[in-house]
């Protein structure tokens, strides 16, 4: 069993930056791929970024060049550095752990994403 706890959310003005962190319990963190997803009110959950166990990354087009995902396997953490934030980035952000460590899946419905955090709110004002 893996527990994921996100932190770092908050309110920021457009153009600002935030850094989200997700800490995982358990000894198998380094074998998982990790993903960040977000869900805005009345919208479907959507992919933001993912990183494989070895550090390969993929991003949604909407955040490419503005967000950076990284991981520290020694600390069991995955981070999402968000810059040049826009009001449309407002959402609850979730981290998720995928048992398919080699594949940075962008589909949150994939069964490989077996563990989810409770989410952290990010609000960007114009």
Q: Give me 41's structure tokens.
A: 């009110």
Q: In angstroms, what CA-CA distances link 37 with 27, 74, 90, 98, 126?
A: 23, 23, 12, 13, 22
Report the mean per-residue pLDDT for the chain. 96
Residue pLDDT, tens place only, 3-40: 999 999 999 999 999 999 999 998 889 999 999 999 99
How far, in Å, CA of 125 to CA of 69, rounded?
23
Q: Where are the beta strands (DSSP E) in 26-65?
A: 33-39, 46-51, 57-59
Give the range among 24-33, 46-55, 114-123 with minimum mean pLDDT.
Answer: 24-33
Residue pLDDT, tens place only, 74-98: 999 999 999 999 999 999 999 999 9
* Predicted confidence (pLDDT) at residue 1 exceeds the cutoff of 90: no
């Amino acid at each position: 069993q893996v527990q994921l706890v996100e932190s770092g959310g908050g309110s920021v003005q457009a153009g600002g930056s935030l850094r989200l962190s997700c800490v995982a319990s358990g000894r198998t963190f380094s074998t998982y791929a990790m993903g960040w997803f977000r869900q805005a009110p009345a919208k479907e959950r959507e992919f933001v970024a993912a990183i494989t166990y070895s550090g390969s990354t993929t991003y949604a087009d909407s955040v490419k060049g503005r967000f950076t995902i990284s991981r520290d396997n020694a600390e069991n953490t995955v981070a999402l550095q968000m810059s040049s934030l826009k009001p449309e980035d407002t959402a609850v952000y979730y981290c998720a752990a995928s048992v398919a460590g080699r594949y940075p899946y962008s589909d949150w419905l994939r069964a490989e994403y077996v563990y989810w955090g409770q989410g952290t709110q990010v609000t960007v004002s114009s």
